[in-house]
């Protein structure tokens, strides 16, 4: 039996607005777009389900998603300083500017329009 990560789930209020943001900032590609509730995107081999609350889901899955706060998804970039400059030009909210961690990596934190925060790693 093998186990692998199937997808990352990001809760948003507006999938159409999120689609534009994730394409522009992270370069994600659309796989399936079913507004107003569902958007599947790819970044390399990684899958992201970007969704709103949906009362049509099966019992136990219809609740509203957590929207906002720090996500477990960490995005790796080659040059964190250039990436943050690009984000600033796009008016992306910078939560934490690049800092060097004690283990040697550089990290920053940005937020999407719904307040979902992502760690950026170099």
Give tens-digit pLDDT for 93-104.
Answer: 999 999 999 999
Per cent of the chain over pLDDT 70 is: 98
62 inside domain: no
- Could you give the C-alpha distances from 98 to 42, 74, 75, 78, 103, in angstroms and in order? 25, 14, 13, 13, 14
Can you say how many angstroms the Cα of residue 16 is from the centroid of all Cα atoms in its chain?
14
Which CATH number does the domain housing residue 106 bear?
3.10.180.10
Q: How many domains does the chain have?
A: 1
Can you say how many angstroms the Cα of residue 35 is from the centroid of all Cα atoms in its chain?
17
1 inside domain: no
78 inside domain: yes
Mean pLDDT across 61-69: 79
3 inside domain: no
Residue ranges making up the domain that contains 28: 8-55+67-121
60 inside domain: no
47 inside domain: yes
28 inside domain: yes
61 inside domain: no
Per-residue model confidence as pLDDT tens digits over 71-86:
888 999 999 999 999 9
User: Residue 96 and residue 3: Cα distance in Å, rounded?
Assistant: 33
């Amino acid at each position: 039996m093998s186990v692998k990560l199937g997808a990352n789930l990001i809760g948003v209020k507006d999938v159409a607005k999120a689609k534009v943001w994730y394409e522009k900032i992270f370069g994600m590609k659309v796989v399936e777009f079913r507004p107003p509730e569902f958007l599947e995107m790819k970044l390399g081999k990684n899958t992201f389900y970007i969704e709103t609350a949906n009362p049509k889901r099966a019992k136990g899955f219809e609740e509203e998603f957590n929207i906002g706060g720090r996500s477990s998804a960490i995005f790796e970039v080659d040059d964190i300083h250039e990436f943050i400059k690009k984000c600033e030009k796009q008016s992306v909210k910078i939560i934490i500017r690049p800092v060097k961690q004690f283990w040697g990596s550089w990290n920053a934190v940005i937020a999407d329009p719904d307040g979902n925060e992502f760690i950026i790693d170099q």
